[in-house]
């Protein structure tokens, strides 16, 4: 029998229907932390656990080229993005993003984003109510542009933020959300490609060493500079995920509402607690459901075999809720990270392994730093959470509190000097 035809039944549709719960449910029914199935017309092996992370991120086992379906490239990542590369081509492209790992860049992003937040809060006060998810995405988009050296008028920030959010919101679905995501990407790639053309022709300027400057000057493994479209794709791979931290900001507000005992220690700005809180938000709440690659050769994992070209799937959400790693995974308990620091291949909301050499997210320090700073600000803000639908449906990918977290009566903290910089860069070992 042709091994590529086993198992026979494709599970892509149930996965799309069940969302985050699909893989953890299959794992629960299996004897070990491994599931054989069929997805996207290919045999697939799903894994979880720190050893599985190391197996998954070993390039001799799993490759990314041609692993990401077109609808995901056309919305979330962009065609020919860093996510799709292996070996030398990946290393050369990843070099562009490695500065993001430095404490200086993390601090720079945090500073720009918190500045945009502090400018926005008085306006939220003047309005009767605001949807936090929407406001946070605008603040993050503005901060990300300022930090990356990309010009953006304050008055355009809302529309650009909506495009950034649409690209993330529509990658895992068919229908209107997906079409919106495709249109948003096309619009933003055009805008940034024009900017790159202007910078290169001298009609525009890129601040020295800004992300815009680095992208305009970058040379890939073949020694060639990016064409304008590829440059736009990789600029978006910095700005879009920074805007996506809005999901974690909305989750933070949800956590503070459900478990208000965390507000006072967060508002006090204790750095260790703040880092622990940000880690717990990223662990507890659902964002990336899983990651996929293709078996580089015939592989065996925990007694299960997968042929070359089969799909290898890392169960991100399942691992972040694995009882054997977290004890009480469905309890929101920041203290767990005070008792035991986050371990590199255990906490994997932004991928596993080493970000400098593998595909792990190079923006994890930025995410953490920004989230820490905004979580403290949110804890210090006065506001009311009126009656609304705060449920977080697990069958929607990506999901968020249904209402986006409506706040009324927002009032800035009186006479407090705000913490500017989170510890981001040093927090995952
Ligand atoms: C909402 C916060 C974020 C989440 C949940 C997130 C999640 C992820 C995940 C799951 C991956 C894939 C890892 C893999 O393929 O193994 C990734 C890759 C990536 N992320 Fe993030 N990320 C976030 C924020 C950021 C930020 C702020 C930046 C940049 C400033 C960024 C830039 C990237 C890039 C460039 C890659 C591709 C890395 C590669 O393929 O080598 N991300 N991210």
Closest atom of ligand 1 relative to the 242 alpha carbon? 27
Angle at 86 between CA 84 and CA 91, to 5 degrees: 105
Question: How far is the C-alpha of 298 from the C-alpha of 37, rounded, in Å?
Answer: 16
Question: How far is the C-alpha of 427 from the C-alpha of 429, rounded, in Å?
Answer: 6
Backbone angles phi, psi at 330, to 5 degrees: -95, 10
Contacts with 7 (C-beta within 8 Å, 6 or more apart), sequence order: 36, 37, 38, 43
Q: How far apart are the CA of 413 and the centre of ligand 1, in A? A: 32
Contacts with 237 (C-beta within 8 Å, 6 or more apart), sequence order: 77, 78, 81, 82, 83, 97
Q: Measured from the CB, is residue 241 less than 6 Å from ligand 1?
A: yes
The answer to whether 252 and 378 have CB atoms below 8 angstroms apart is: yes
Q: Measured from the CB, is residue 83 less than 6 Å from ligand 1?
A: yes
pLDDT reported for residue 416: 53
Q: Measured from the CB, is residue 188 less than 6 Å from ligand 1?
A: no
Q: Measured from the CB, is residue 360 less than 6 Å from ligand 1?
A: yes
Which residue(s) pair with 351 in the sheet? Answer: 349
Q: Measured from the CB, is residue 93 less than 6 Å from ligand 1?
A: no
Q: Measured from the CB, is residue 349 less than 6 Å from ligand 1?
A: yes
> Residue length, the chain?
429
pLDDT tens, position by position, for the chain (429 residues)?
A: 344 446 668 888 888 889 999 999 989 888 888 999 999 889 999 999 999 999 999 999 999 999 999 999 999 999 999 999 999 999 999 999 999 999 999 999 999 999 999 999 999 999 999 999 999 999 999 999 999 999 999 999 999 999 999 999 999 998 999 999 999 999 999 999 999 999 999 999 999 999 999 999 999 999 999 999 999 999 999 999 999 999 999 999 999 999 999 999 999 999 999 999 999 999 999 999 999 999 999 999 999 999 999 999 999 999 999 999 999 999 999 999 999 999 999 999 999 999 999 999 999 999 999 999 999 999 999 999 999 999 999 999 999 999 999 999 999 887 654 544 445 544 454
Question: How far is the C-alpha of 307 from the C-alpha of 311, rounded, in Å?
Answer: 9
Question: How far is the C-alpha of 70 from the C-alpha of 308, rounded, in Å?
Answer: 21
The Cα-based distances of 35 to 5, 11, 21, 307, 369 in angstroms read: 16, 12, 14, 14, 35
The answer to whether 359 and 83 have CB atoms below 8 angstroms apart is: yes
Q: How far apart are the CA of 256 and the centre of ligand 1, in A? A: 25
Question: How far is the C-alpha of 218 from the C-alpha of 202, rounded, in Å?
Answer: 17
Exposure pattern of 89-117 as b/e (b: 16+ CB <10 Å)? Answer: bbebbbbbbeebbeeebbbbbbbbbbbbb
CATH number of this structure's domain 3-426: 1.10.630.10
Residue nearest to atom 7 of ligand 1 (CA): 350
- Please state the domain extents for the chain: 3-426
Closest CA to 170 of 71, 251, 236: 71
Segment holding 136, helix H or strand E: helix 132-148
Q: Measured from the CB, is residue 363 less than 6 Å from ligand 1?
A: yes
**DSSP state letter for 76:** I
Q: Measured from the CB, is residue 143 less than 6 Å from ligand 1?
A: no
Closest atom of ligand 1 relative to the 314 alpha carbon? 16
Residue in the block written with tokens 């190079």: 362
pLDDT reported for residue 424: 54
* Pairing status of strand 42-47 against strand 311-314: parallel
**Could you please report the per-residue DSSP string of 260-290?**
GGGHHHHHTT-HHHHHHHHHHHHHHS-----
Task: Find the farthest-apart pair of alpha carbons in the chain and give their distance in angstroms, rounded.
Answer: 73
Question: How far is the C-alpha of 159 from the C-alpha of 331, rounded, in Å?
Answer: 37
Question: How far is the C-alpha of 43 from the C-alpha of 211, rounded, in Å?
Answer: 39
Question: How far is the C-alpha of 243 from the C-alpha of 391, rounded, in Å?
Answer: 22
Q: Measured from the CB, is residue 320 less than 6 Å from ligand 1?
A: no
Closest atom of ligand 1 relative to the 359 alpha carbon? 41
Question: How far is the C-alpha of 167 from the C-alpha of 204, rounded, in Å?
Answer: 26
Question: How far is the C-alpha of 105 from the C-alpha of 227, rounded, in Å?
Answer: 25
Closest atom of ligand 1 relative to the 64 alpha carbon? 15
- Bond before 269 cis per omega within 30 degrees: no
Closest CA to 293 of 126, 49, 56: 56
Residue nearest to atom 23 of ligand 1 (CA): 241
Residue whose CB lies within 8 A of the most ligand 1 atoms, among 350, 354, 397, for a mutation test: 350
pTM for the whole thing? Answer: 0.96
Question: How far is the C-alpha of 40 from the C-alpha of 57, rounded, in Å?
Answer: 21
The count of other CB atoms within 10 Å of the CB of residue 118 is 14
Closest atom of ligand 1 relative to the 367 alpha carbon? 27
The answer to whether 255 and 278 have CB atoms below 8 angstroms apart is: no
Q: How far apart are the CA of 142 and the centre of ligand 1, in A? A: 19
Q: How far apart are the CA of 220 and the centre of ligand 1, in A? A: 20
Q: How far apart are the CA of 353 and the centre of ligand 1, in A? A: 13
Q: How far apart are the CA of 31 and the centre of ligand 1, in A? A: 31
Q: How far apart are the CA of 361 and the centre of ligand 1, in A? A: 4
pLDDT reported for residue 421: 41
The count of other CB atoms within 10 Å of the CB of residue 61 is 18
Closest CA to 257 of 244, 269, 268, 266: 266
Helices marked H in 149-269 — which ranges?
A: 157-169, 176-201, 211-217, 228-243, 245-258, 263-267
Residue nearest to atom 36 of ligand 1 (CA): 361
Residue nearest to atom 26 of ligand 1 (CA): 363
**Could you please report the per-residue DSSP string of 247-264?**
HHHHHHHHHHHH-GGGHH
Residue whose CB lies within 8 A of the most ligand 1 atoms, among 241, 286, 314, 316, for a mutation test: 241
Q: How far apart are the CA of 363 and the centre of ligand 1, in A? A: 6
């Amino acid at each position: 029998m042709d091994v590529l035809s086993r198992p026979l039944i494709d599970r892509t549709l149930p996965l799309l229907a069940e969302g985050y719960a699909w893989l953890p449910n299959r794992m629960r029914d299996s004897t070990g932390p491994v599931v054989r199935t069929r997805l996207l017309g290919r045999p697939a092996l799903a894994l979880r656990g720190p050893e599985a992370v190391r197996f998954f991120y070993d390039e001799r086992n799993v490759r990314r080229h041609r692993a990401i379906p077109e609808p995901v490239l056309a919305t979330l990542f962009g065609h020919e993005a860093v996510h799709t590369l292996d070996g030398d081509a990946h290393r050369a492209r990843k070099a562009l993003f490695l500065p993001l790992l430095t404490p200086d860049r993390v601090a720079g992003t945090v500073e720009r984003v918190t500045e945009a937040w502090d400018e926005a809060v008085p306006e939220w006060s003047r309005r009767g109510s605001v949807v936090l998810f929407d406001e946070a995405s605008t603040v993050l988009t503005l901060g990300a542009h300022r930090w990356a050296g990309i010009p953006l008028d304050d008055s355009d920030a809302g529309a650009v933020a909506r495009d950034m959010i649409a690209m993330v919101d529509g990658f895992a679905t068919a229908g209107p959300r997906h079409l919106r995501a495709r249109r948003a990407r096309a619009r933003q790639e055009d805008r940034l490609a024009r900017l790159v053309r202007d910078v290169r022709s001298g009609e525009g300027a890129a601040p020295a060493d800004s992300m815009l400057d680095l992208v305009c000057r970058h040379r890939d493994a073949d020694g060639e500079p990016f064409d304008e479209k590829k440059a736009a794709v990789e600029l978006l791979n910095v700005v879009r995920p920074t805007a996506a931290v809005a999901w974690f900001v909305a989750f933070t507000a949800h956590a503070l509402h459900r478990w208000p005992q965390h507000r006072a220690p967060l508002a006090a700005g204790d750095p260790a607690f703040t880092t622990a809180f940000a880690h717990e938000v990223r662990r507890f709440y659902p964002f990336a459901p899983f990651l996929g690659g293709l078996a580089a050769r015939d592989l065996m994992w925990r007694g299960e075999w997968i042929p070359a070209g089969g799909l290898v799937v890392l169960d991100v959400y399942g691992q972040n809720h694995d009882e054997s790693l977290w004890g009480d995974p469905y309890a929101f308990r920041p203290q767990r990270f005070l008792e035991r620091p986050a371990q590199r291949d255990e906490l994997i909301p932004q991928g596993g392994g080493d970000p400098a050499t593998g595909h792990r997210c190079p923006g994890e320090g930025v995410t953490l730093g920004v989230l820490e700073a905004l979580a403290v600000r949110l804890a210090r803000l006065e506001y009311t959470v009126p009656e609304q639908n705060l449920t977080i449906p697990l069958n929607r990918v990506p999901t968020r509190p249904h209402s986006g977290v409506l706040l009324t009566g927002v009032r800035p903290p009186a006479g407090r000097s705000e913490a500017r910089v989170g510890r981001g860069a040093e927090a995952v070992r």
